[in-house]
A = this chain, B = another copy of it.
């Protein structure tokens, strides 16, 4: 397909690279910031566009907005082609946010954490799609299947819940890694010590349900250890609070232990 990409961040970059690798033509990359458009456009052999959306090519089969949530309705309201397929990539934004932009609307939400620094294999990434008509859903299904082996339909409300689950499992877990790194650093210990444990914890739930493999003092109801840890955190109110409420949540979840 002929693709016009709006956005130049992590999602735009990884999605653009995957689409190009699958043989699609990226005609243009639009970004508010000219340099950002140029940088990504070069990677995708596309033309950079900036400023008003009037300068978008009308030769696109699909216009994909990989921009932050608050920008989606703004760009949609300025989208110049009411008959062209306009798509966003957000987990949280309702498809209806595109209705001002085009009658042909859809969502293509790749469920992954993208960082500029790290390549990902898009074929393993689950992609949730939604279209404003059965025809559009079909088109998005084909497009998504050209880059991913795991494409499924999800309406906007369920997509929001999927995104929220991802925030718990990914964004919040990563912050707990950061907290661990800080605790170790204060002892002069490196994060390397804990990397195998993090890898194993994530590896385990690839084949088990996480509730089957929960370990640690809270699930064992080991009050002595919990107390020692809370003592060690007595001068770190925020960490102590996080430790307490997560431990309580674990105890509540496994009352029989």
State whether B175 touches A246 (Cβ < 8 A).
Answer: yes
A82 sits at the interface (CB 8 A): no
* Number of copies of chain A assembled together: 2
A202 sits at the interface (CB 8 A): yes
Could you say which residues of chain B place their CB within 8 Å of the CB of A134? none
Counting chain A residues whose Cβ lies within 8 A of the other chain, the interface size class is: 35 or more
Check: A205 CB closer than 8 A to any chain B CB.
yes
Name the B residues within 8 Å of A171 (CB-CB). Answer: 214-219, 250
Report yes or no: B178 in contact with A162, Cβ–Cβ below 8 A: no
A30-67 interface (Cβ within 8 A of B) = none
A-B residue pairs, 5 tightest by C-beta: A171-B216, A202-B202, A177-B210, A169-B180, A165-B180
Hey, which bits of chain A sit against chain B, CB under 8 A? 10, 68-70, 92, 111-115, 117-118, 120, 124-126, 150, 152, 158, 160-181, 183-184, 186-187, 189, 191, 193-220, 222, 224-225, 228-229, 232-233, 238-239, 241-243, 245-246, 249-250, 252-253
